[in-house]
């Protein structure tokens, strides 16, 4: 039961964008229970979210050695290889996961992402063509399909796919980021030749070359900013309340200017927290 609670807590931290806390929670756990597959899988995700693909690969490999045909282990093994630019290994792991569970859209999405990172948008688009009809409810899948379509020179179909993603989840960060990227790419397209060039250039932005850090997932920086702002807000409020209690008890004379400064600081932190969105 203790193990289940710890892994559930790690899941909650990862869902709220607090990968650092999740990694710190999981490190002693996988040290005590190195045979726990779930711990290594979550550690791989945490390390990827922290931008540390080398450590993520070590964790994913540990999970894979314990569970060589498990789709979750194969998923994170593929993701870690993609982030490091090991594209053949990434595609092979994702394809193996799809064979194990062919009806799982998340695994097909991972395979397409691995293909896009390898510079194979045609393979990604073709592979997702039938999957999106069977999993029309999956916004992540629609966004990846849209990215593949744009990279092969089909901007109208790409926009349609993004529209389907937004219809599923209007606030989907990946869909909105893709739409903005499409707008930027299309700003230079005036004829068929320039459209083809824009598509190629867009496809190149999706590639991950060995040794080059990939772009962080949409919303990651925003979540981190929101977390810092929320912590700052709590500290400012605590100081404000403490100063008020000391002032009320006659133990300390607090100037009104300090109250004003603390209120302004707390208000600023609150606004930044609200703009950054809820913890995920």
Q: How many domains are contained in the chain? A: 3
Report the pLDDT averaged over residues 193-203: 92
Report the pLDDT averaged over residues 250-268: 67
Spatial distance between the Cα atoms of 115 and 125, rounded to a whole number of angstroms: 9
Is residue 108 very low, low, confident or very high in pLDDT (cuts 50, 70, 90)?
very high
Q: Are residues 124 and 89 in the same domain?
A: no
Report the pLDDT averaged over residues 191-210: 91
Tokens encoding 276? 């950054």
Q: Are residues 148 and 129 in the same domain?
A: yes
Q: Are residues 17 and 87 in the same domain?
A: yes
Q: Are residues 51 and 27 in the same domain?
A: yes
Q: Are residues 192 and 232 in the same domain?
A: no
Q: What pLDDT is stored for residue 147 in this prediction?
A: 97
Q: Are residues 233 and 265 in the same domain?
A: yes
Q: What pLDDT is stored for residue 277 in this prediction?
A: 44
Check whether 251 has a pLDDT greater than 80.
no
Is residue 271 very low, low, confident or very high in pLDDT (cuts 50, 70, 90)?
low
For the chain, the C-alpha Rg in angstroms (whole number) is 23
Check whether 269 has a pLDDT greater than 90.
no
Check whether 279 has a pLDDT greater than 50.
no
Check whether 99 has a pLDDT greater than 70.
yes
- Give percent of the chain with pLDDT exceeding 90: 68
Q: Are residues 257 and 200 in the same domain?
A: no
Check whether 107 has a pLDDT greater than 70.
yes
Check whether 83 has a pLDDT greater than 90.
yes
| Tens digit of each residue's pLDDT (9 = 90 or more) over 30-43 | 999 999 999 999 99
Check whether 215 has a pLDDT greater than 60.
no
Tokens encoding 258? 């300090």
Spatial distance between the Cα atoms of 128 and 115, rounded to a whole number of angstroms: 11
The angle formed by the CA atoms of residues 214, 176 and 74, to the nearest 5 degrees, is 45
DSSP state, residue 33: -
Domain range for 266: 220-276
* Contact indicator for 60, 44 with CB cutoff of 8 Å: yes
| Tens digit of each residue's pLDDT (9 = 90 or more) over 222-249 | 444 454 555 555 655 666 576 666 666 6
More confident residue, 256 or 187: 187
Q: Are residues 1 and 83 in the same domain?
A: yes
Q: What pLDDT is stored for residue 218 in this prediction?
A: 42
Check whether 280 has a pLDDT greater than 50.
no
Tell me what the pLDDT averaged over the chain comes to.
85
More confident residue, 9 or 231: 9
Q: Are residues 245 and 180 in the same domain?
A: no
Residue 266 lies in a domain: yes
Q: Are residues 134 and 203 in the same domain?
A: yes
| Tens digit of each residue's pLDDT (9 = 90 or more) over 129-139 | 989 988 989 99
Q: What pLDDT is stored for residue 233 in this prediction?
A: 53
Last residue of a domain, one of 39, 68, 102: 102
Check whether 194 has a pLDDT greater than 60.
yes
Q: Are residues 182 and 197 in the same domain?
A: yes
Is residue 101 very low, low, confident or very high in pLDDT (cuts 50, 70, 90)?
very high
Tokens encoding 29? 């756990």
Spatial distance between the Cα atoms of 132 and 157, rounded to a whole number of angstroms: 13
Spatial distance between the Cα atoms of 212 and 85, rounded to a whole number of angstroms: 8
| CA nearest to 19, candidates 58, 38, 45, 37 | 45
Spatial distance between the Cα atoms of 1 and 234, rounded to a whole number of angstroms: 32
Residue 97 lies in a domain: yes
What CATH number has the domain bearing residue 12? 1.25.40.10
Is residue 270 very low, low, confident or very high in pLDDT (cuts 50, 70, 90)?
low
Quote the pTM value.
0.74
Q: How many beta carbons lie within 10 A of that of residue 269, not counting itself?
A: 20
Report the pLDDT averaged over residues 41-51: 96
């Amino acid at each position: 039961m203790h193990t289940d609670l710890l892994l559930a807590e790690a899941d909650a931290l990862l869902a709220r964008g607090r990968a650092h806390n999740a990694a710190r929670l999981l490190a002693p756990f996988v040290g005590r229970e190195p045979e726990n597959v779930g711990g290594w899988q979550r550690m791989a995700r945490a390390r990827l979210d922290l931008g540390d693909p080398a450590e993520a690969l070590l964790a994913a490999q540990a999970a894979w050695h314990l569970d060589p045909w498990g789709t979750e282990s194969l998923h994170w093994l593929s993701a870690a290889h993609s982030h490091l630019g090991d594209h053949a290994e990434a595609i092979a792991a994702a394809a193996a996961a799809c064979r194990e569970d062919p009806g799982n859209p998340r695994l097909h999405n991972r395979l397409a992402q691995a293909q896009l990172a390898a510079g194979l948008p045609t393979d990604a688009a073709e592979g997702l063509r039938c999957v999106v009809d069977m999993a029309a409810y999956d916004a992540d899948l629609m966004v990846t399909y849209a990215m593949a379509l744009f990279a092969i020179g089909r901007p109208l179909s790409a926009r349609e796919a993004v529209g389907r993603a937004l219809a599923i989840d209007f606030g989907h960060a990946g869909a909105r980021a893709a739409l903005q990227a499409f707008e930027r790419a299309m700003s230079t397209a005036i004829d068929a030749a320039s459209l083809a060039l824009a598509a190629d250039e867009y496809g190149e932005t999706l590639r991950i070359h060995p040794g080059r850090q990939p772009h962080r997932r949409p919303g990651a920086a925003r979540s981190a900013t929101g977390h810092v702002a929320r912590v700052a807000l709590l500290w400012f409020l605590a100081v404000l309340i403490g100063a008020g209690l000391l002032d009320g008890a006659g133990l300390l004379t607090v100037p009104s200017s300090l109250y004003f400064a603390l209120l302004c600081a707390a208000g600023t932190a609150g606004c930044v927290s609200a703009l950054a969105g809820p913890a995920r």
